[in-house]
Amino acid sequence: MIIVGITGASGALLGIRCIEELAYHNKQIAVIISRSAWPIIHHEMQTDCTSIISIVKQRNMQPELLCNIIEYSPDDFFAPIASGSNQFEATIVIPCSMKTVAAITHGYADNLIHRVCDIALKEKRQLVIVPRETPLSALHLYNLYTLSMYGASVVMPIPAFYNFPETVDDVVNFIIGRVFDQLHIQHNLYRRWDYDEHTR
């Protein structure tokens, strides 16, 4: 199982596309959406849905893949994933607010997203953080550096231009692809750099 947390930072589409692609790759996904994320999702995705399953269903996900997704409340500390004895594979926080970065860095596990990240770090499991803020203050950089030193992967949502992106989807797919690279998930979300190909 892979856990995906969506927090109250701009970039809701990143989290939703990550969930969709994990489902397409037949991964079991546990989704936690913070309370502050929902207003962002409603605004940026132009939807009034209050369930991630409803959102991906509206986006034409195949019905048989919906069973790969489980939703948990951010306040549910009785969820199986709230215990380190639960053998989940990895945690992705995408997009990740600076508040969430600070909470994870300092072990302030006051909601389920923070708690599963705390578990990932203490149990030496994969933790991928996709922070959505710019510019970054010295404090933001310090917290991200500290998380990296603790073992987390920090994937900045920065597009590449060597593959000539033409749409927002191209940019989003590149970022999701880079997240998947950290998890060693095979994919075709973006064209990898090949100098020989570009100079023929």
Q: What CATH number did the domain enclosing 115 receive?
A: 3.40.50.1950
- Token pair listed for 33: 């959406």
In whole angstroms, give the CA distance from residue 173 to residue 176: 5
Task: Look at the chain and report how many structural domains it folds into.
Answer: 1
pLDDT for residue 123: 96
DSSP label at residue 171: H
What is the widest separation between alpha-carbon atoms in the chain? 57
Residue 198 has pLDDT above 70, yes or no: no
Q: How far is CA 128 from CA 65, 90, 113, 154, 163, in A?
A: 23, 8, 12, 6, 24
- pLDDT (mean) for 143-161: 97
Report d(CA 107, CA 152) in Å as an integer. Answer: 13
* pLDDT, averaged across the chain: 95
Tokens of 15: 């989290």
Range of the domain at 186: 2-199
> Given this model, what pLDDT does residue 194 score?
78
**Average pLDDT in the 42-50 region?**
95
